Amino acid sequence: MRQDFQSEFASVSSSLVTMAKAVRDAMRQASTALLTADYTLAQQVTDNDAQVDVLYRVVDDRVFNLVLRRQPITGDLRSALSALQAATDLERMGDLAVHVARATLRRYPATAAAPELADLFRAMSTVADQLAAKIVVALSHGDEALAGQLDGDDDAMDQLHRQLFQVMLSSDWPLGVEAAVDGALLGRYYERYADRAVNVGRHVMSLAAKS
Amino acid sequence: MRQDFQSEFASVSSSLVTMAKAVRDAMRQASTALLTADYTLAQQVTDNDAQVDVLYRVVDDRVFNLVLRRQPITGDLRSALSALQAATDLERMGDLAVHVARATLRRYPATAAAPELADLFRAMSTVADQLAAKIVVALSHGDEALAGQLDGDDDAMDQLHRQLFQVMLSSDWPLGVEAAVDGALLGRYYERYADRAVNVGRHVMSLAAKS
């Protein structure tokens, strides 16, 4: 019974890896679109999100059927439920990439990333990409140690997030309200993306520890 | 077996109702604190959130043990997993109330709700409270019809959210960047709270339809 569970669970894990790669690509493309005011690329990010949503439903469906048919033992059940939660977080990471893309679409042909903030957004997108890259590897190999590193990366994101607000709220902020509102929301999207990535890492640890 | 499942599941449902009441109170208090710049009340919201987190772990634990020991049939398993997802959304609604409270704490003794935006925040907090009230009732009675009304309330929230940005981004916005940044973030917290409430409603429909 246990072996049956685990061989079927491999297809769930493989869908999670595909999801993680997709939401990594989505945020990378959304960031490039943001920093270069690329309408077509931003549009592509919003169009591609449907694929992530489909993958979410695939994971949900597979986990459900697996638990229903295989009546898993403790560790296997924990893995199954962690996979479901990881899929929820990954789906939301895809949505957050779409939010970044939509900010680009909304301001086009102008930019949603004020020049004064572009370096910070570049740094935030780099941290987001590192987090997503680690999740892909951690999910692929059930790498508990790697998943544990995510908290540190998230601290870097939080620090950039604080810096962003310092720049916008300083007395010599040269731009208007619109640029600051865009900045605040974009900062929040990156911060939430990183936070969700840390959640996925926790689920991976739970997958790895119990399986 | 099925009856055993359902009698044990009643305690999960009851914890979800307690969570929903707690996150309703949290946002109501956070909104009052925001609109009256009440430091003590805002602090209370952040302190109370630990109780919601404890309830989340109670639900998670009970659902896990229920599925493990009872090997539920299709409808019961769907209910169990929906309960887990509802708990995740409720826990996050509690966090969003804390975010509103923190904005109040951050700006005290000044206000995070600019007078120009206070009416909109009051309206948003009313819609948020209506949504939370409906969730409490829907979870208490498995009320599918009520859960289905939540989408309409969420549309009202989205409209207020759009109005908020119109006010802040209009050329005659009399306040500075800080007030607009606070406004953008607070608006987002309310919008997300409502969105999560709609999710809870969907899980209730799934609970009601399958049980």
Q: Encoding tokens for residue A160?
A: 């950039």
Domain holding B29, by residue range, is 2-210
- Secondary structure, 3-state, A81-143: HHHHHHHHHHHHHHHHHHHHHHHHHHHCCCCCCCHHHHHHHHHHHHHHHHHHHHHHHHHHHCC
A121 pLDDT exceeds 50?
yes
| Closest chain B residue to the Cα of A72, Cα to Cα | B68
Decide if A177 and B165 are in contact by the 8 Å CB cutoff: no
Q: Which long-range contacts (CB under 8 A, 24 or more apart) does A151-159 make?
A: A151/A198, A151/A201, A153/A127, A153/A194, A153/A197, A154/A194, A154/A195, A154/A197, A154/A198, A156/A127, A157/A124, A157/A127, A157/A128, A157/A131, A157/A190, A157/A191, A157/A194, A158/A191, A158/A194
Residue from A117, A166, A181 to probe the interface with B (highest B Cβ count within 10 Å): A181
- By Cβ distance, the residue of A74, A85, A178 closest to B169 is A178
- Predicted confidence at residue B72, as pLDDT, reads 93
Mean pLDDT of B59-75: 94
- Express each pLDDT in B113-152 by its tens digit: 999 999 999 999 999 999 999 999 999 987 778 877 898 8
| Closest chain A residue to the Cα of B65, Cα to Cα | A74
CB pairs A-B closer than 8 Å: 57
Decide if B180 and A185 are in contact by the 8 Å CB cutoff: no
Decide if A165 and B181 are in contact by the 8 Å CB cutoff: yes
Residue from A70, A78, A172, A177 to probe the interface with B (highest B Cβ count within 10 Å): A177
Which DSSP category does A170 fall into? S
Decide if A177 and B176 are in contact by the 8 Å CB cutoff: yes
- By Cβ distance, the residue of B71, B72, B173 closest to A177 is B173
- By Cβ distance, the residue of B77, B169, B177 closest to A168 is B177
Percent of chain B with pLDDT over 90: 83
Decide if B67 and A88 are in contact by the 8 Å CB cutoff: no
- By Cβ distance, the residue of A64, A88, A184 closest to B184 is A184
C-alpha Rg value of chain B to the nearest Å: 19
Q: Which residue has the tokens 């997993």?
A: B81
Closest CA–CA distance from residue A116 to any residue of chain B (Å): 15
- Express each pLDDT in A44-91 by its tens digit: 999 999 999 999 999 999 999 999 999 899 999 999 999 999 999 999
Q: Which residues of B touch A169 (CB under 8 A)?
A: 177-178, 181
Decide if B88 and A88 are in contact by the 8 Å CB cutoff: yes
Decide if B84 and A81 are in contact by the 8 Å CB cutoff: yes
- Predicted confidence at residue A61, as pLDDT, reads 96
- Predicted confidence at residue A211, as pLDDT, reads 45
Q: What is the ipTM of this complex?
A: 0.92
Decide if B77 and A84 are in contact by the 8 Å CB cutoff: no
- Predicted confidence at residue A45, as pLDDT, reads 98
- Predicted confidence at residue B148, as pLDDT, reads 74
Q: Which residues of A touch B64 (CB under 8 A)?
A: 77-78, 81
- Predicted confidence at residue A209, as pLDDT, reads 58
CB burial of B111-127 (b: ≥16 within 10 Å; e: otherwise) equals: bbbbebbeebbebbbeb
- Express each pLDDT in A95-119 by its tens digit: 999 999 999 999 999 999 999 999 9
pLDDT band at A184 (very low <50, low <70, confident <90, very high): very high
CA distance B32 to B37: 8
- The answer to whether A205 touches B209, Cβ cutoff 8 Å, is no
- Express each pLDDT in B167-190 by its tens digit: 999 988 888 899 999 999 999 999
- By Cβ distance, the residue of A71, A78, A169 closest to B178 is A169
Q: Could you count the other beta carbons within 10 Å of the beta carbon of residue B4? A: 12
Decide if A176 and B176 are in contact by the 8 Å CB cutoff: no
Q: Which residues of A touch B168 (CB under 8 A)?
A: 177, 181
CATH at A41: 1.20.58.220
Mean pLDDT of B46-73: 96
Considering its fold, how many domains does chain B have in total? Answer: 1
pLDDT band at B196 (very low <50, low <70, confident <90, very high): very high
